[in-house]
Every structure is written in structure tokens, then in C-alpha cells.
């Protein structure tokens, strides 16, 4: 690429959601991501999102607005609905810090919203799956599996397998009714 054109740097542990004719990349394990729970430098880095426009083949970087972006930047669960991108969980980058909050990002306004804060009812985890689905006219986010730190609450219908170094692998499943969350309607 010629000088002056934005180029995406090295990244792993991320998702690549598609909205319309664009791919959005946020977070992930990057060389300049501070491996701490929180810091001004980390918040600044996570307050940008990269976008690839299919028609032009060009990457661009954009500053985001709204509530602070999630801190679980590596291995988060991700899915889309219309112009919204939903993010669940993820890990900070420091060894055993996992999250379980749900955030949305509007791809038109570049605005973050925290729609479900952290709670002890759901295992804090990363590296699982999430889809947006409809059943009987109601839209849901469905999160399944992952690994993380020892849960505060064990649910008897799920498995929690110790995989070493204080980490747990699970098949825990969570269903979130989107119609009950007014904040995700931008």
C-alpha cells in the first residue's frame, strides 16, 4: 500500500463481524495492548475500531463514543443484528481476568452501550460462541461455552471442567431476550 493509507496491524483473539458491506475489527490481542485490567492507554486503544469497506478494499480506523468500551478485549463472543454488533465476555490480557458483561456497538453512530453489566449469575469467560436468533417472534442473544476463571455460581445442568492454571472450560449456555433491553435499540 502507498504511504498515508491506513494499514491494519497484527491481531489475534478477535472476531470479524460483518455489517452491510463492511468488516469491523475491535480489540483482540495486539502488540500495543497493555496486558493489565485497566489503564488510560488501554482505554484509548479500545476506543477505536477498524473498518474494512468491501467496495474500496481500504481499512480505516475510527474513534468510538458512548459508554466506555468493554475491557474484555481478547477472545470475546460476538454477533450482529441489523446495525448493531454485540460483544459478550472476553479476557483483559492479564492472566486470569475474564468478563461477562454484554455490550453493543452501533456501526452507524460508532457508539457503545453497556446493556448488561457484570454479574455473578453468569460465568466470566472468553473463547466461546454467540449468535443472534429469533424464536416465536422474539430476538435473543445465545451464548455458549468458553473458558475462564472459576465461576461464582455453578449451574447443575452445565459442566465446569478444570483445565489447569485455575482455568475452567464450560458448556454453560445463556439466553438473553433482546426485547427486554431498551438500550440496544439505537
Q: What is the pLDDT of residues 60-89, one digit of tens each?
A: 999 999 988 999 999 999 999 999 999 999
Q: How far is CA 92 from the centre of its chain?
A: 11
pLDDT band at residue 130 under the 50/70/90 scheme: very high
Provide the pLDDT for residue 63: 97
Task: Please answer whether residues 37 and 99 qualify as being in contact, where contact means their C-beta atoms are separated by less than 8 angstroms.
Answer: no
Does residue 184 carry a pLDDT above 70?
A: no
What's the pLDDT score for residue 3?
Answer: 52
Query: pTM for the full model?
Result: 0.92
Q: Strand pairing of 84-88 and 129-135? A: unpaired
SS3 content of the chain, % helix, strand, coil (to 5): 5, 45, 50
What integer is the mean pLDDT of 137-156?
A: 95
Q: What's the pLDDT at 9?
A: 86
- Region 146-170: mean pLDDT is 95
- What integer pLDDT is reported at residue 4 of this predicted model? 62
Amino acid at each position: 500500500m502507498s504511504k498515508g493509507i491506513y494499514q491494519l496491524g497484527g491481531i489475534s483473539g478477535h472476531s470479524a463481524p460483518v455489517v452491510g458491506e463492511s468488516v469491523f475489527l475491535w480489540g483482540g490481542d495486539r502488540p500495543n495492548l497493555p496486558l493489565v485490567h485497566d489503564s488510560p492507554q488501554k482505554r484509548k486503544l479500545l476506543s477505536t475500531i477498524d473498518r474494512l469497506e468491501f467496495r474500496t478494499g481500504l481499512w480505516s480506523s475510527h474513534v468510538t463514543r458512548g459508554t466506555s468500551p468493554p475491557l474484555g478485549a481478547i477472545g470475546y463472543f460476538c454477533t450482529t443484528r441489523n446495525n448493531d454488533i454485540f460483544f459478550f465476555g472476553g479476557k483483559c490480557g492479564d492472566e486470569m481476568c475474564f468478563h461477562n458483561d454484554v455490550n453493543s456497538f452501533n456501526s452507524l453512530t460508532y457508539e457503545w452501550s453497556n446493556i448488561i453489566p457484570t454479574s455473578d449469575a453468569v460465568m466470566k469467560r472468553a473463547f466461546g460462541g454467540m449468535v443472534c436468533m429469533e424464536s416465536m417472534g422474539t430476538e435473543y442473544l445465545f451464548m455458549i461455552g468458553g473458558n475462564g476463571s472459576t465461576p461464582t455460581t455453578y449451574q447443575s445442568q452445565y459442566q465446569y471442567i478444570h483445565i489447569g492454571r485455575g482455568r475452567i472450560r464450560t458448556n454453560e449456555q445463556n439466553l438473553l431476550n433482546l426485547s427486554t433491553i431498551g438500550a440496544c435499540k439505537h
